[in-house]
Amino acid sequence: MSGIGRASRLVCSLLSALTLTLAIGSTASAADRPATVSSGWNDFSCKPSAAHPRPVVLVHGTLGNATDNWLVMAPYLVKRGYCVFSLDYGKLPGVPVFYGLGPIDKSAEELSAYVDKVRAATGADKVDMVGHSQGGMMPRYYINFLGGASKVNHLIGLAPSSHGTTMMGLTKLMDSVPGARKALGGMAQGLTDQALGSDFLNRLNASPDTMPGVEYSVIATKYDQVVTPHGTNFLSGPNVRNVMLQDLCPVDFSEHISIGSVDRIVVHWVAGRLDPANAEPTTCASVLS
C-alpha cells in the first residue's frame, strides 16, 4: 500500500475516533465533566469492600478524557461493587475535552499523584488499573520508574501501545520528511512518543515489560488500525495474560477505539480479570445473548 493510502486509512481511523468520542461526549453534559459522584464513580468517599478491596483507576487513551472513555466500563464496575476512579492527564493549553497529548513521562507523573490521592482517600495500599491505548502503556512508565510497582496490583491494558506503533507504516513516511517527527512532537508530544522508535519508547522498553509483584493483562484486536502491528500490544513476562479479542468472540469486529470504550465482551472480560475467582466465561454467547 502506498504512503498516501496508509495515510488515508489512518486519517479515517482518527476521524472515526474523534466522531465516536464526540458522539459519546454528546450524552454527557458539561456538568458531567469530569466524572462526578452522581455519575457513579470518582466518589472519593467510597470505601472498598472485602469482596473488592482495591479501588480501580481508569486511564483513558490519546484524545480521550476521564468521562467519555468510560461511560460503559465505569458504571458496569460500580454496579458490581467497585470503587472506581478516572483522571484527565496530558492536557495541552487551550485544548478542551481531548487529553493525553502531552509528554508521556509527564503524564505518568500526573498518574502517580492521582493514584496517591485515591489511595489516601480509600485507605487502600494498592490499586487495580485499566487503561486504553496510551492509557494501557503509560502506567508501565509509572510502575517501572516512578515507584508504581509498590502501589499497583494489576494493570489491564485494552489495545495498549505497549511497544509503540508503526501507524500502519506512517512512521516511515514521517521520518522520510526531514523535521516532521520533531514538528509534530512540538504540537502534541503524546502522539510522537508512541511512534515506533521514539526516545520515550526506547527508554521505557529498555526496562522489562513487567515488574515483580504486579499482575498484567492485555487484550488486543486484529482490527486495530491505530496500534500496528496489533501483536505489539502484548507483554512478555511470567505474570502476564495476553488475549486476542477474536479468540473470545470471533465475530467481534471492534477496532482500536471501540475495544476501549463500548465493547461489551471487553467490559465483561475486564471484570473477570479483576476478580478471577468469580469470573464467568467470556464468549459471544455468554455476553451478547
- CATH code: domain 3-288 is 3.40.50.1820
Instruction: Tell me: pLDDT of 137 over 70.
Output: yes
Q: How far is CA 232 from CA 48, 220, 227, in A?
A: 34, 9, 8
Q: How many helices (H) and strands (E) does the chain have?
A: 12, 6
> Which distant-in-sequence residues (6+ apart) come within 8 Å of 278 by Cβ?
none
Tens-place pLDDT, residues 73-109: 999 999 999 999 999 999 999 888 899 999 999 999 9
Predicted confidence at residue 230, as pLDDT, reads: 80
Predicted confidence at residue 6, as pLDDT, reads: 41
Predicted confidence at residue 229, as pLDDT, reads: 86
Instruction: Tell me: pLDDT of 71 over 90.
Output: yes
Predicted confidence at residue 203, as pLDDT, reads: 96
Tens-place pLDDT, residues 217-242: 999 999 998 898 888 999 999 899 99
Instruction: Tell me: pLDDT of 270 over 50.
Output: yes
On average, the pLDDT of the chain sits at 84
Per-residue pLDDT averaged across 133-158, rounded? 98
> Which distant-in-sequence residues (6+ apart) come within 8 Å of 13 by Cβ?
225, 226, 255, 256, 257
Instruction: Tell me: pLDDT of 167 over 80.
Output: no
Per-residue pLDDT averaged across 113-124, rounded? 98
Predicted confidence at residue 35, as pLDDT, reads: 59
Buried b / exposed e over 157-195, threshold 16 CB at 10 Å, is bbbbbbbbbbbbbbbebbeeeeeebeeebeebbbbbbbb
Q: How far is CA 169 from CA 10, 34, 108, in A?
A: 10, 35, 27
Tens-place pLDDT, residues 21-31: 333 343 333 33
Top mean pLDDT of 39-48, 92-101, 114-123, 162-171 is at 114-123
Tens-place pLDDT, residues 180-215: 444 444 457 998 899 888 999 999 999 999 999 999
Is pLDDT larger for residue 80 or for residue 7?
A: 80
How far apart are alpha carbons 116 and 85 in whole angstroms? 12
% of the chain with per-residue pLDDT over 90: 66
For residues 143 and 149, is the Cβ–Cβ distance under 8 A? yes
Length in residues, the chain: 289
Where does 109-211 show beta strands of DSSP type E?
A: 127-132, 152-158
Per-residue pLDDT averaged across 134-146, rounded? 98
How far apart are alpha carbons 260 and 159 in whole angstroms? 7
Per-residue pLDDT averaged across 36-49, rounded? 87
Residue 267: what residue type? Answer: V
Per-residue pLDDT averaged across 17-22, rounded? 38
